[in-house]
A and B are shown apart, each in its own frame.
Chain A
Amino acid sequence: MDLNLTAIIFVAILANNIVLNQFLGICPYLGVSKRIETSLGMGMAVIFVMTMAAIVTWVIYTVFLVPYDLVYLRTIAFILVIASLVQLVETVLKKINPTLFRALGIYLPLITTNCAILGVALLNVQAGHNIIQTIVYAIAAAIGFTIAMVIMAGIRERLDLADVSSYLRGAAVTLVTAGILSLAFMGFRGIMTL
């Protein structure tokens, strides 16, 4: 698949937004989007972990799985790799950079089994990206995730003050909002898709 990087970035952030169009990572999208501050923190942690995970899984895939014809084991291998990687990053970060650890720390375990991370790793190898495309796609997808989170958090901060009907208050109105937001992002598909 021959793709230029600009197209990958555009598609990953907007047209194929990981949360709003591919519906991956919905759990943190609804769970951590109560305040803009926390959603940004989560977004940063996702950018960090998603990039690292995409690189490592790509290497594992190319070096171990493809040569031995074990591609069918990729899901379980990736889960293993991502979980250990996040744990490793957490341990090292705690020692080396406590400030960063405190900022990202509470989000890291949340990300360990996040389907968005695994999804991006799988999508990368499925699309046959090379290492450069893999890194660019991972960062762009994570930025897309962050954007979706921050938009949602901004809306929810306003929703808290809005006069919502008692039947819809809370989770219901949040889901309706998420749906409308998703519809809005579907519009980008008219411009370009992969």
Chain B
Amino acid sequence: MDFVLSLGIIGGLGLIFGGLLAVAAQKFAVEEDVRVETICDLLPGANCGACGFPGCISFAEKVVSGQVSVDCCIPGGKEVCDNVCEVLGVASVASEGKKVAEVFCIGSEDVAPNKFEYHGVQDCKAAMMFGGGFKACTYGCLGLGTCVHVCPFDAIHMAANGLPVVNDDKCTGCGICVKACPRSIIHIVDKDRVGMVVLCNSKDRGKITREVCEVGCIGCKACLKACPNDAIVVENNLSYIDTDKCNECGECVEVCKRQGIKSISKSKVIAFPT
């Protein structure tokens, strides 16, 4: 009797729950669009999050449901956009402009000294925990290569002067390094950039910048006065160049007093640092 009862109860429970699951599977079935998977396969698959969604699969879902523009996959660029458009059967809307990362600091070790020796973990974020970083300039690149490590496309490497250099061909403009840099030195710029840009982040007053770095922008406004196109504004002791107005005349480079104008470099540009 006991045997039958236990068999009945447990078996019954199993049956009930099995039935419930079967019903639920039918009733709550979610139809998945096959295009989502197809598109996901076309995407770069780095799950970098540059589109603003968590992972490629989320982006694919949003694209299929029409909630987001097809060209939002920055690393994919034109090619991926064209392919996705083909799957969706719409005309390509790819924008030609490819984006890449640019390091906005030229204060290498020899021109921007350290305020103390650092022997801790070789990582910019860790270094920032000790007195706000070992570099005298509180805006300059620490050069420990956190951006190099986080780059999923192997596009950044450290140059001999201790500053990171971006390989424009490999860089997809995903922006992971931008988020990883504890000093917000890296910005995303147009790949086919034209015009001038100020490769400095220092918002310190000119006097302080002068003390900690030989090449940093001191906000002296010489370039502002020299510019014939009114393309330059000086804000927070830092000069910005509006690339829409800049025609690369080079006047600003001529007048820049900081170590033969390293801080305003030719044909590098854009993206107003915010």
Contacts and interface: CB of A to CB of B under 8 A. Distances in A.
Interface of A: 60, 64-65, 68-70, 73, 76-77, 80-81, 84-85, 87-88, 91-92, 94-96, 98, 161-163
Nearest to B125: A161
A94 B25 CA distance: 10
Contacts of B29: 95
Given A70-B6, A88-B24, A91-B21, A161 B129 contact: yes
Contacts of B30: 94-95, 98
Contacts of A76: 10
A163 B6 CA distance: 58
Contacts of B28: 91-92, 94-96
A68 B5 CA distance: 8
A87 B6 CA distance: 24
21 contacts: A68-B9, A69-B2, A70-B6, A70-B9, A73-B10, A76-B10, A77-B10, A80-B17, A81-B17, A84-B21, A88-B24, A91-B21, A91-B24, A94-B28, A95-B29, A95-B30, A161-B121, A161-B123, A161-B125, A161-B126, A162-B121
B265 to A, nearest CB: 34
Contact of B121 (A68, A92, A95, A163): A163
Interface residues of B, number: 22
B9 A80 contact: no
B20 A88 contact: yes
Given A91-B25, A161-B129, A162-B121, 18 more contacts: A60-B13, A64-B9, A65-B9, A69-B2, A70-B6, A73-B9, A76-B10, A77-B9, A77-B10, A77-B13, A81-B13, A84-B21, A94-B28, A94-B30, A95-B29, A161-B121, A161-B123, A163-B120
A161 B120 CA distance: 9
Contacts of A96: 28
B264 to A, nearest CB: 36
B44 interface: no
- Specify the main secondary structure of chain A where it touches its partner: helix
A77 B17 CA distance: 11
Nearest 10 pairs of A and B residues by beta carbon: A84-B17, A95-B28, A161-B126, A91-B24, A91-B28, A94-B30, A92-B28, A70-B6, A64-B9, A95-B30
Contacts of B25: 91
B18 interface: yes
B235 to A, nearest CB: 34
A194 B268 CA distance: 70
Interface string B24-52: 11001110000000000000000000000
B25 to A, nearest CB: 6
A64 B10 CA distance: 9
Contacts of A68: 5, 9
A179 B5 CA distance: 45
Contact of B21 (A60, A87, A98, A161): A87
Interface string B49-82: 0000000000000000000000000000000000
B97 interface: no
B14 interface: yes
Identify the interface centre among B9, B121, B129: most chain A CB within 10 Å of its CB: B9
A21 B20 CA distance: 36
A152 to B, nearest CB: 20
Nearest to A92: B28
A87 B18 CA distance: 10
A73 B14 CA distance: 13
Contacts of B24: 88, 91-92
Contacts of B17: 80-81, 84-85, 88
A129 B24 CA distance: 31
A77 to B, nearest CB: 6
A88 B10 contact: no
